[in-house]
C-alpha cells in the first residue's frame, strides 16, 4: 500500500486543490499538516474552513473524504529556531521577496523528520521565481512533482530542501479549471486566503488578498473602501495586541 502523501494544508486555494485532487482523482491517502500560530488572525478561520472543505468533499465522495486523514497540527511555538534558515531567507530576499513563512515551514519539516512535505508553490508565486530553474521534475503515480536539484546554483535555496512542489507549473486559474473539469469546483469556493479577516470576511488589503486579486481570482476579494480600510487597520493593530494577551493568559481561540 502506498504511503500517505504529506501535504501542507492551510485551507487555501493551492493546498486545497492538491488535497482534493489526490483524494478524489488519484484515490490515495492524504496526510495534511497545518502550522498553528496564535499570531495569525486567520488561524481559527483556516481550521474552520478545513472542516467545511472536508464535509464538501464527503458530499461528493465519502470514500475520498475518508482518505483525508485528520491534520497533524504543528505548534508554531514548539518549532526550534534555526539562525541559518533566517540568514538564507535574508540573502534570498536581497534579490526577490520571499515570505518569512518558509523559514518556519522549513524548520517545522526538519524538526518533524519530513523530507518530502508537499507545498502549494505554483507558477504565480514569487517563491517559484526565487527557486527558478533550480528544480527538477520527478514523475510518479500521483501526477509527479518538482523538487530542488542536488546542487542548486544558489546554496541558500537549501531552505526549500524538505519540500516537494506538485503545482510548480500551474496557475490558480488552471487549478480552478482542473477542479471544474473534475467536478470539485464547489470545494474550491470554500477555500480561505485572507490573513486579517474583518468580521469573518476577507479584508481586501492584506498580502494574500492582494495576491489573490493579482492571480486572477479577484471575484473572491471584497472591493476596497475607506471604511473597510479603517476596519482592517483596527483589526490588524488591536487584534494583534488581543492575541498576544490571550496567548499569555493561555486563552485558546475558537476553531
CATH 3.40.50 fits 5-188, yes or no: yes
Query: What confidence score (pLDDT) does residue 36 get?
Result: 93
Q: Where in the chain is the domain with CATH 3.40.50?
A: 5-188
81 in Cβ contact with 104 (< 8 Å): no
Under 8 Å between Cβ of 48 and 117: no
Position 39 scores a pLDDT of 78
Q: What does the pLDDT read at residue 249?
A: 52
Q: What are the phi and psi torsion angles at 194 (to 5°)?
A: -75, 140
pLDDT at res. 236: 73
Is the CB of residue 160 less than 8 Å from the CB of residue 148?
yes
How many C-beta neighbours within 10 Å does residue 167 have? 27
How far is the CA of 242 from the CAs of 235, 238, 250, 254, in angstroms?
A: 10, 6, 12, 14
Cα four-point dihedral sign 200, 208, 137, 188: positive
Q: State how far the Cα of 137 lies from the Cα of 145, in Å rounded to an integer.
A: 6
pLDDT on residue 151: 96
Q: What are phi and psi of 117, to 5 degrees?
A: -75, 125
Place of cell 474552513: 49
For position 252, what pLDDT does the model report? 54
- Each residue's pLDDT tens digit in the chain (255 positions)? 589 999 999 999 999 999 999 999 999 999 999 999 877 889 999 999 999 999 999 999 999 999 999 999 999 999 999 999 999 999 999 999 999 999 999 999 999 999 999 999 999 888 999 999 999 999 999 999 999 999 999 999 999 999 999 999 999 999 999 999 999 999 999 999 999 898 889 999 988 999 999 999 999 998 887 777 777 787 776 665 555 555 555 655 554
Backbone angles phi, psi at 149, to 5 degrees: -70, 165
| Residue 103 main-chain phi, psi, to 5 deg | -65, -50
Least Cα distance to 85 among 107, 59, 109 occurs for: 107
- Distance between CA atoms of residues 96 and 90, nearest Å: 10
- Give the count of beta carbons closer than 10 Å to the beta carbon of residue 177: 13
Amino acid at each position: 500500500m502506498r504511503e500517505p502523501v504529506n501535504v501542507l494544508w492551510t485551507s487555501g486555494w493551492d493546498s486545497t486543490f492538491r488535497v482534493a485532487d489526490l483524494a478524489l482523482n488519484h484515490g490515495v491517502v492524504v496526510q495534511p499538516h497545518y502550522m498553528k500560530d496564535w499570531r495569525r488572525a486567520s488561524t481559527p478561520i483556516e481550521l474552520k474552513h478545513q472542516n467545511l472543505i472536508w464535509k464538501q468533499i464527503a458530499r461528493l465522495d465519502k470514500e475520498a473524504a475518508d482518505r483525508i486523514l485528520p491534520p497533524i497540527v504543528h505548534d508554531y511555538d514548539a518549532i526550534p529556531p534555526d539562525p541559518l534558515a533566517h540568514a538564507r531567507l535574508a540573502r534570498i530576499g536581497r534579490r526577490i521577496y520571499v515570505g518569512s513563512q518558509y523559514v518556519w515551514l522549513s524548520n517545522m519539516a526538519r524538526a518533524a523528520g519530513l523530507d518530502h512535505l508537499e507545498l502549494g508553490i505554483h507558477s504565480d508565486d514569487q517563491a517559484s521565481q526565487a527557486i527558478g530553474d533550480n528544480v527538477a521534475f520527478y514523475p510518479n503515480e500521483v501526477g509527479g512533482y518538482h523538487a530542488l536539484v542536488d546542487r542548486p546554483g544558489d546554496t541558500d535555496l537549501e531552505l526549500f530542501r524538505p519540500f516537494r512542489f506538485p503545482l510548480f507549473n500551474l496557475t490558480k486559474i488552471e487549478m480552478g479549471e482542473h477542479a471544474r473539469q473534475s467536478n470539485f469546483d464547489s470545494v474550491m469556493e470554500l477555500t480561505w486566503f485572507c490573513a486579517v479577516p474583518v468580521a469573518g470576511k476577507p479584508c481586501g488589503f492584506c498580502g494574500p488578498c492582494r495576491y489573490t486579486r493579482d492571480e486572477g481570482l479577484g471575484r473572491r476579494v471584497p472591493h476596497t473602501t475607506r471604511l473597510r480600510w479603517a476596519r482592517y487597520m483596527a483589526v490588524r493593530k488591536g487584534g494583534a495586541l488581543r492575541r498576544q494577551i490571550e496567548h499569555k493568559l493561555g486563552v485558546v481561540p475558537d476553531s
